[in-house]
Structure 1
Amino acid sequence: MHFAVILTDRKDGLPIRLANRPAHIEWLKSSGIPIAGPFLDETGEGMIGTLLIVEADDEAGVVAIIDNDPYAKADLFESRQIRPWRWVVGKPA
C-alpha cells in the first residue's frame, strides 16, 4: 500500500534543512521511496516542507521508514500527516 506523507518544517527550520540536505538526499536514494520533493514557499524558492510517497504495509511501517530520514532525526518537522494513497496515473509497470 502507498501513503502520502506531508511534512511541514518548523518556522526556524531552514538552517536545519540546509545542513542536513545532502544526507537527506542520500537517504532518499537508498530508501526505495518512489516520489519525494519539497514544498515551496509563495516565492517558489524557499523550501518549507516535504512530500513523500511511501510504500509500506501500514502506517506504523511508514513511521518506521520516515523516522530514519536525517531531517526527522534533526527535528526539522513541525507536523506530519500520513494518508493512504492510491497511485493511478504515471505508475511504473
Structure 2
Amino acid sequence: MQLRIDTRPTHVAFLEGLNGEGKLAFAGPFLNAEGKPDGSLVVVEAPDLAAAQALSAADPYAKAGLFESVEIRQWNWTFNKPAAS
C-alpha cells in the first residue's frame, strides 16, 4: 500500500501529461462494494496497439509493478463522443 501511495503523485502527473498532449480520453478508479478503489480504467487515443502498449508500460504504476493485470483493447467510441476540436 505504501508503494502505491508513494507512486501516486507521479502516476497522476503522468496522466495529466497524457491529458495535456491530447492522448487521454478519460480515466478513473473502479470502486468495490465498500467504495474503495479496486482497479482502474484508462482510455487513451493511440494510433495503434503498439503505441497504446507503450503508453501503458510508461505509467509509473506499471513501472512499480502495481497493476495486477492490464488489458489493452481497441474500442470504437460510438455514442456521446466529444466533438473533435
Runs of 4+ in structure 1 displaced over 6 angstroms? none
User: Which structure 2 segments of 5+ residues have no match?
Assistant: none
Residue 71 (1) aligns with residue 61 (2): yes
Identical-pair percentage: 46
Counterpart mapping for 1:23-34 below 5 A: 23-31=10-18, 32-34=23-25
Task: Considering Cα pairs closer than 8 Å and 6+ residues apart, tell me whether 1 or 2 has the greater RCO.
Answer: 1
Aligned Cα root-mean-square deviation (Å):
1.3
User: Which protein has the bigger strand share?
Assistant: 1
TM-score of the superposed pair, with normalisation by structure 2: 0.81
Which residue pairs with 2:33 in the alignment? 42
Deviation at 1:59, TM superposition (A): 1.4
Distance in 2 of aligned mates of 1:38 and 1:16? 17
1:1-93 to structure 2, matched below 5 A, reads 14-31=1-18, 32-44=23-35, 46-93=36-83
Please list every run of 5 or more consecutive structure 1 residues that lacks an aligned counterpart in the other structure: 1-13
Partner Cα separation in structure 1 for residue 80 and residue 10 of structure 2: 28
Distance 2:47 2:9 in 1: 28
Which residue identity does 2:46 align to in structure 1? A
Aligned to 1:5: none
**Greater percentage in helix:** 2
Give TM-score scaled by structure 1 length.
Answer: 0.75
Q: Measure the CA separation in 1 of the matches of 2:46 and 2:61.
A: 20
Query: 1-side partners of 2:66 and 2:56: how far apart?
Result: 12
